Amino acid sequence: MSDVRKHYIQILVENRFGVLSRVAGLFSARGFNIDSLSVAPGIDPSVSQMTIETQGDDHVMEQIIKQLNKLIDVIKVVDLTEFSFLCRETILIRVNTTTRPGDREEAFRIVEIFRSKIVDSSPTTYTIEVTGDEDKIEAILNFLKPLGIKDVIRSGKVAIAREDQRASGKSSKPAVDGELSYPRS
């Protein structure tokens, strides 16, 4: 058995009533994990883009990809982990700024260092918006922790393959060459 690894799956679906619950229902019915999920319409409004963060060994991932492809409303499935790809998440953090003297300035400095933004402010808190990959998000959360984090809202991850690879536009290939004579889309 191969190792359990994190995977990012990009799914193109028909932008239709009920499609999200088909995808989510598939994961729960077959015992697959969803670590994060984001979904929104694409450039073509008849299509929605989903990014699902999941984990599994090769066998589980093969089934996830195949089962997703089997859903009638799914147009295309790409396991981005097979490619070089970019992954980002946006989070909103509300942090205390008056626990200790100097905290307000400290929070401001951290925001500068991480090139993030203060999007709301009250006499006792800042609300900070950060976008970045997993490492960056973890790092800023660690820096802000001593100030006292009141709330964190995460968008879930979105991911995209790098341009040179996207150009080929291919779906995730079957685990053995030739299993499908005509890969979907």
- DSSP, res 42: -
| CA distances for 156 relative to 32, 38, 75, 136, 166, angstroms | 17, 6, 22, 14, 22
Q: Is 178 in the site for another protein (CB under 8 A)?
A: yes
Residue 41 or residue 146: which is nearer to another protein going by CB? 41
Residue 17 makes contact with another protein by CB under 8 A: yes
In the shown chain, the binding pattern of residues 30 to 69 toward another protein, with x for contact by CB under 8 A and - for none, equals -----------------------------x--xx--xx-x
| Joined tokens for residue 131 | 């976008």
User: Which one, of 140, 137, 139, lies nearest residue 111 by Cα?
Assistant: 140
Residue 11 vs 160, nearer CB to another protein: 11
Which element (helix H / strand E) includes 4?
none
**Minimal distance, residue 74 CB to another protein, in Å:** 6
Strand partners, 118: 128
The contact set with another protein (CB under 8 A) reads 13-14, 17-18, 21-22, 25, 29, 59, 62-63, 66-67, 69-70, 72-75, 174-176, 178-182, 184-185
